[in-house]
Amino acid sequence: MPSADRCFIFYFVLVFVVCLAKDAHIVARWADKLGNELWELANEVGRPEELLEKYKNMNARVEDKSGEELINIISENVGRMLRRKMDAIICIRIAAEEAAENWDPSLLDGNFSYVSGKCSPVIGHDSANKKKHCDIHKKTVFRDMELISDSHFYDIPVNTTYSSVHIPTNVYDLTQDVAEDIARTEPLDNIFRQNYESDPALSWQYFGTVTGVLRQYPAMQWRTNPEPADQYDCRVRSWFIEAATCSKDMVILMDVSGSMTGFGKTIAKTTVNSILDTLSNNDFVTLLKYSNETTEFVPCFKNMLIQATPENLDTFKKSMDKIDTDNVANLTEAFTKAFSLLKTYREERGCNADSPCNQLIMLVTDGIPGGKLGNNLKEVNPALAAWLWWVMKHGQQKSRLEKYLKGKQLGVRINEDAIYIQQLHKNENIEEDSSTLNTTIWQEYSLLTSVSTPVFDRKSNQTMIANLLGVAGTDVPIDEIEKFMIPHMLGVNGYAFIVTNNGFILIHPDLRPVFQRILKPAYNSVDMAEVELMDHDMGPREFDEGIIMLRNNVVNQMNGSATLYTKYHYDDMKRVGRVKRKYDYAGIMDTPFTVVVSLPEHDHTGNYRVHAIEEIHRSHAKGKNVTDYFAGSNWRVHPHWLYCKYHYEGEHKFNSSESQLLHFLERTRLPGWKWIDMKQRSKPPEHSATSSNHSSNPKPYKAENKNSYFCDRNLLLSLVYDAKVTEWFAQQIPPNPSTKESGPLARLMNQMTRKQFKQRFGVVLAFMATHNGLTRWQDFLRVDENMSLPENHFSKLYPHAIDEVWYKRAVEQYYINEDSFVFSVPLKDKGANNSTLVTASRAVFIENAKGKAPAMVVGFQFQHTALQALFQNITLNCDGNCHKHCGDEVWACYLIDNNGYIIAAEDETDAGKFFGDVRGPIMSSLVKDGVFEKIRIFDYQAVCFKSSQTNNAGNILLTPWKHLQTALSWMIGHAAWAWARTGILDYENAEAYSYVSDDESAVHNDDEESEEKPPITDKDDRLNFDQNILINRTRPEVCDQEIYLYLRNASFDSYDMDMDCEHRWYMVQSVAYSNMLLVVVNTNCGDTTSPILSVKPEEVIYENNTLVCQKALTGLKRKRPQSCIRSNPRESDIKDQCGLATNAKMNLFLLMLLLICVVAEKNTFLLG
């Protein structure tokens, strides 16, 4: 090759390399220029350095934040509050037992009447008279109600003078037993009132009897949907069952032999469903079917007792959908397997006389085959309390088996139509186990738990049986507990949560019980290990040793601490982070709960918090009114934190948390002001059931001091300090915020009017928020201060200070780059528009020799169009020094944040989208080259809408006989239902159950069912469809999901590397003083848009297994509640209670009525 040609080629290559290097240099210069301009603007508007100087000048200091100290404070606060609830229900229990002991049946005269939640007329309303289920012939039975809306009870109209009564639909209220329960529980009204006056934080109080009577305080109208029947029955609610029964191991044996074909199988399935409905999270159960051999209904539950969570019980019920009945029943093998399984669990748990296990066998069969059953059971270990449930016809066979089993001292109770709960109640000599704290349940007002205790008939009797009268209880709203968990002392990104004895979450910031207004099926059985995610690469439900050890200690209510590396998601599972956390934990005395405090540890320097207070009385002594620090209306305090509060909130109405704060600050100036830090009132007053007011209109109980209050002194004084330091921030910001001309931008701003400033930079609002919950802002657009704020105003969207996402992100960013702002836009698939705002925030830390801690976050909001203009102005202008820029078709330029979301782009509709959805291959390269980390997150609280098989109703049109069948079923079913509602059946109906599988609610409405129905839109005129059809086709089910989220590598700064279509199709540079990256893509190198890299969750499919089975195999530790006594040394003296089932006769009328209702309901469902 000639030398001239070689020179030409060398020259061409040199020019090409120089141009590429020049491209990298230009992109870096764009990133620096953009970052510097935004940094200067942010500092001039937010003024973080000025705020920091104020804090230092006013002697703010940094103190240790001890997890051990915090856990002791929280456990003491929450424990004291819960014990107050226990004291209240113990008062109810004692009063109920005394009322029963002193009850004289002759007091029930012909003038019997009561306040009915469903049927009593409400003064001023005639709604009760229009209710179909209210018998018009009993108007004199129902007293009138006068109701007033009460903010403490979620603004529901109530009457705190007396209680109201709810009777299940299938219970007749004028039956002797039911009427006696209504009359004999009326004296409880006085105790209800005294409890509420003593502890104004008490929620609903109630007492449910074994006959189905529910007396609840305060009185209210029972809320039901217009069409469905009232299905509420207190006897099958978790708060009743868990208090009335012991935790237990249960084996259900269901006969599927040939003799069960037909109606016997239907009865058996209904019986098993009813038994399963009486179990709770504290119970363990398995369901076996037997004929010639015994097998599990759910194969993956082989040789296992499964915790009776709602999803596991639902799995058992679904497993009975298809049952094949065949062969001859081998009861010997069934009993042998059941006894062997229970023995295994007894030995594993170390059950003995000192620590007994309550174990049951429930036998569901229609008969016992011939043969010497006893000889085949000789090897069975009799150390077991067996309870047998029979669906049988032959009393002789029952007597034969009962006689044998009683000979083996198995404590057999054979029941045919008795109430299950009555047979499983605690023994009469149990005094120490006075109350039960039940698992979380949801009602339409809030998440709550409940405290309940069994109530017994203490009358002496020859049979020495303490008959269960009912259960007393009260609700405890979860948000009430959260107020005692001092969130202001935990700091940003720190939190506390509560775990039950089963390892389930009671309170946690990541507990998500509702999805799109639908209550999740397993919302109350979310495990601690499912929300505390460890930073490892293990697969789904592969929990590492660290979290398992921590969880075991927490479940066992031990005291201690652990440090683990974790990952977490936030911002609606769009962002992810990594942090080392220190966990401190301690059990709450006299409860099954454990409190855990989780604090992030950065830089391995421990945990610290800013401490600074302003003594109010000193300010007053100097003639300064501290309310002056809160002048104007452009400030907010954290709405969920307790600064000061009246015990009797109903007596003091405030429009907002801010007006309440100002009220108490004014009170501090009044003579006699005292700092009262008692969050609880004194114990409930001594009750007297005999002195209770029995009149139909008792006088309200008057409290001694309706003005009693309490304050968190440290929090309130710290808030006043923050207000004093930031008082200047609330004043009008002039067009030139700074008098110091620190840079070109500052000099430019000094020369601009306010209007020009807004037009040039698009700044809408400046804000600041402190660690004590104070938020201030200054609008740049509003001129009239009296103009009302729009619903999407910053102050209405973000009043929660340290709990806001922009606050948390700013603090996390500080540990990566102290001198930087976090920029974000709303994450939307539709992208940005003219109303989209960019939020910029920066953390201000106080530092001393001990360490450093965040004092506040400052920031501002500006229009996205202004950022877009600035971005394009910089990247589209090369001043003649480049051959390409972002305006060329070849280059596509993006501003993305540290989680991979687009902040700005040439196409503004890309803003708010994930970069991988727009440029999937480029995002994959950024991960491969170490710019981003790809982090796998599992969501164990996910809900999947799965399609289910539905019958094709088109065959109904094929034959007229279908129409006749439908008509007959409808007429017979409605006739039977009308007959049942008249109440003319015998009194045994008072003890019938209305078993429901809907989610538990201790209070007290049936509207909750409507929340489980998916919303139906007007689209495609689908409102004409039956909602049941839609639910059947897309039923929400529990599922696990996985999602890959992205986090900028903290070690990445910038790449001074050029684009190369063979190796790299992009250039990337850090934007100075921010969390952003400038990415330039060469679109000529190939397809840079597909395949996309999505951040949408996908369901985890377990190989050859279902989710329920996978959970069962995990085998997480549970701590059973303190066992109650399962037997009595004098049980052998009981002569009148055992074996009476042999005398029971089948009620053929009720059997036929049940058959008619089942057939009618089945046909209505299939055709409807």
pLDDT tens-digit profile of 896-953? 999 999 999 988 899 999 999 999 999 999 999 999 999 999 999 998 877 655 555 4
Mean pLDDT of 361-380: 62
pLDDT of 159 > 90? The answer is yes
Contact 1102, 1110 (CB under 8 A): yes
For 608-644, what is each residue's pLDDT tens digit? 889 999 999 888 888 889 999 998 889 999 999 999 9
Q: Last residue of some domain: 412, 443, 477?
A: 477
DSSP string, 983-1001: T-S-GGGGG------SPP-
DSSP string, 808-819: HHHHHHHTT-SS
Q: Which amino acid would we find at residue 98?
A: E
For 1080-1126, what is each residue's pLDDT tens digit? 998 888 889 999 999 999 999 998 788 999 988 888 888 877 655 55
Same domain, 94 and 142: yes
How far is residue 381's CA from residue 648's CA, in Å, rounded to a whole number?
Answer: 58
For 126-155, what is each residue's pLDDT tens digit? 554 456 667 655 667 888 899 988 888 888
Mean pLDDT of 825-842: 89
Mean pLDDT of 168-195: 90
Contact 647, 708 (CB under 8 A): yes
What whole-number percentage of the chain has pLDDT above 90? 37
Contact 97, 469 (CB under 8 A): yes
How far is residue 114's CA from residue 167's CA, in Å, rounded to a whole number?
Answer: 11
How far is residue 285's CA from residue 387's CA, in Å, rounded to a whole number?
Answer: 13
Same domain, 93 and 227: yes
Chain centre to alpha carbon of residue 470: 28
Provide the pLDDT for residue 1052.
80
Q: Is 144 helix (H, G, I), strand (E, B) or coil?
A: coil
Provide the pLDDT for residue 845.
93
Max mean pLDDT among 325-339, 541-555, 739-753 falls in 541-555
Provide the pLDDT for residue 594.
95
Q: For CA atoms 973, 974, 977, 979, give the dihedral sign.
A: negative
Same domain, 411 and 434: no
Q: Which helix (H) or strand (E) holds 928?
A: helix 920-928
Provide the pLDDT for residue 783.
55
Provide the pLDDT for residue 998.
36
Provide the pLDDT for residue 264.
82
Provide the pLDDT for residue 1029.
35
Q: DSSP code of 1115?
A: -
Provide the pLDDT for residue 734.
47
Polymer length of the chain = 1168
Place 837 in a pLDDT band, splitting at 50, 70 and 90.
Answer: very high
For 1073-1092, what is each residue's pLDDT tens digit? 999 999 999 888 888 999 99
Q: Which domain holds residue 390?
A: 246-315+340-368+381-424+1108-1162
Instruction: Please state the φ and ψ torsions of residue 664, each to the nearest 5 degrees.
Output: -75, -35
Chain centre to alpha carbon of residue 474: 19
User: Is residue 673 domain-resident?
Assistant: no
Same domain, 221 and 143: yes
pLDDT of 121 > 70? The answer is yes
Provide the pLDDT for residue 360.
84
Provide the pLDDT for residue 22.
67
Give the pTM: 0.83
For 85-97, what is each residue's pLDDT tens digit? 999 999 999 999 9
Residue carrying structure tokens 């042999």:
1142
Contact 945, 1052 (CB under 8 A): no
Instruction: Please state the φ and ψ torsions of residue 939, each to the nearest 5 degrees.
Output: -110, 105
User: Is residue 723 domain-resident?
Assistant: no
How far is residue 141's CA from residue 7's CA, in Å, rounded to a whole number?
Answer: 112
Which of the pair, 827 or 139, is modelled with greater confidence?
Answer: 827
Crossing angle of helices 176-185/67-101, nearest 10°?
120
For 962-983, what is each residue's pLDDT tens digit? 566 666 665 665 565 455 444 4
pLDDT of 418 > 60? The answer is no
How far is residue 279's CA from residue 244's CA, in Å, rounded to a whole number?
Answer: 11
Which of the pair, 477 or 745, is modelled with greater confidence?
Answer: 477
User: Is residue 973 domain-resident?
Assistant: no
Place 593 in a pLDDT band, splitting at 50, 70 and 90.
Answer: very high
Contact 482, 507 (CB under 8 A): yes
Residue carrying structure tokens 């929450």:
78
For 277-287, what is each residue's pLDDT tens digit? 888 888 899 99
User: Is residue 1140 domain-resident?
Assistant: yes
Place 886 in a pLDDT band, splitting at 50, 70 and 90.
Answer: confident
Closest CA to 939 of 511, 516, 553: 511
**Residue 783, Cβ neighbours under 10 Å: how many?**
7
CATH of the domain at 108: 3.30.450.20
Closest CA to 46 of 782, 1074, 785, 769: 769
Q: Give the chain's domain count.
A: 2
Q: Last residue of some domain: 448, 477, 506?
A: 477
User: Is residue 646 domain-resident?
Assistant: no
Place 398 in a pLDDT band, splitting at 50, 70 and 90.
Answer: very low
For the chain, the C-alpha Rg in angstroms (whole number) is: 35
Q: Last residue of some domain: 450, 477, 504?
A: 477
Q: Which helix (H) or strand (E) holds 518?
A: strand 518-519
Mean pLDDT of 309-323: 90
For 728-783, what is each residue's pLDDT tens digit? 887 655 444 444 445 555 555 555 555 565 667 789 999 999 999 999 998 887 65
Provide the pLDDT for residue 503.
94
Residue carrying structure tokens 């030409």:
8
pLDDT of 718 > 80? The answer is yes
What tokens were used for 839? 């939020």
Which residues partner with 249 through β-bridges?
284, 359
Q: Minimum mean pLDDT among 71-75, 722-726, 730-734: which range?
A: 730-734
Q: Minimum mean pLDDT among 15-24, 359-368, 463-472, 554-563: which range?
A: 15-24
Provide the pLDDT for residue 584.
96
Provide the pLDDT for residue 28.
87
How far is residue 471's CA from residue 243's CA, in Å, rounded to a whole number?
Answer: 7
Closest CA to 406 of 1124, 1142, 1146: 1142
Mean pLDDT of 277-306: 91
Same domain, 267 and 123: no
User: Is residue 143 domain-resident?
Assistant: yes
Same domain, 81 and 191: yes
Same domain, 283 and 413: yes
Q: Which helix (H) or strand (E) holds 979?
A: helix 960-982
Contacts of 1161 (CB under 8 A, 6+ apart): 973
Q: Residue 894, exposed/middle/buried by CB under 10 A (0-12, 13-18, 19+)?
A: buried
Strand bridging mode 774-779 / 560-570: unpaired
User: Is residue 452 domain-resident?
Assistant: yes
Residue 554's alpha-carbon distances to 280, 440, 503, in angstroms, are 21, 18, 8
Provide the pLDDT for residue 140.
76
Same domain, 179 and 289: no
Contact 34, 871 (CB under 8 A): yes
CATH of the domain at 1155: 3.40.50
Label each residue of 537-599 as H, E or C. CCCCCCCCHHHHHHHHHHHCCCCEEEEEEEEEEECCCCEEEEEEEEEEEEECCCCCCEEEEEE
Which of the pair, 615 or 1140, is modelled with greater confidence?
Answer: 615
Phi-psi region of 402 (alpha: psi -120 to 50; beta: other; left: phi over 0): alpha
Same domain, 252 and 222: no
Same domain, 179 and 201: yes
**Residue 880, Cβ neighbours under 10 Å: how many?**
5
Instruction: Please state the φ and ψ torsions of residue 692, each to the nearest 5 degrees.
Output: -65, 145
For 856-868, what is each residue's pLDDT tens digit? 999 999 999 999 9
Q: Where are the alpha helices (DSSP H) in 302-439?
A: 310-319, 331-349, 373-376, 395-407, 420-423
Provide the pLDDT for residue 311.
87
Same domain, 198 and 266: no
Same domain, 388 and 451: no
How far is residue 354's CA from residue 575's CA, in Å, rounded to a whole number?
Answer: 51
How far is residue 976's CA from residue 1161's CA, in Å, rounded to a whole number?
Answer: 11
Closest CA to 513 of 524, 503, 505, 504: 524
Place 241 in a pLDDT band, splitting at 50, 70 and 90.
Answer: confident
Contacts of 328 (CB under 8 A, 6+ apart): 257, 258, 291, 292, 369
Provide the pLDDT for residue 861.
94
How far is residue 558's CA from residue 551's CA, in Å, rounded to a whole number?
Answer: 10
Provide the pLDDT for residue 1016.
31
Mean pLDDT of 457-468: 67
Mean pLDDT of the chain: 78
For 1001-1029, what is each residue's pLDDT tens digit? 444 444 433 333 333 333 333 333 334 33
Q: Is 920 helix (H, G, I), strand (E, B) or coil?
A: helix
Place 416 in a pLDDT band, splitting at 50, 70 and 90.
Answer: very low
How far is residue 1123's CA from residue 439's CA, in Å, rounded to a whole number?
Answer: 17
What whole-number percentage of the chain has pLDDT above 70? 70
User: Is residue 506 domain-resident?
Assistant: no
Mean pLDDT of 1057-1086: 86
**Residue 1101, Cβ neighbours under 10 Å: how many?**
11
Q: Which helix (H) or strand (E) holds 806?
A: helix 805-814
How far is residue 825's CA from residue 133's CA, in Å, rounded to a whole number?
Answer: 54
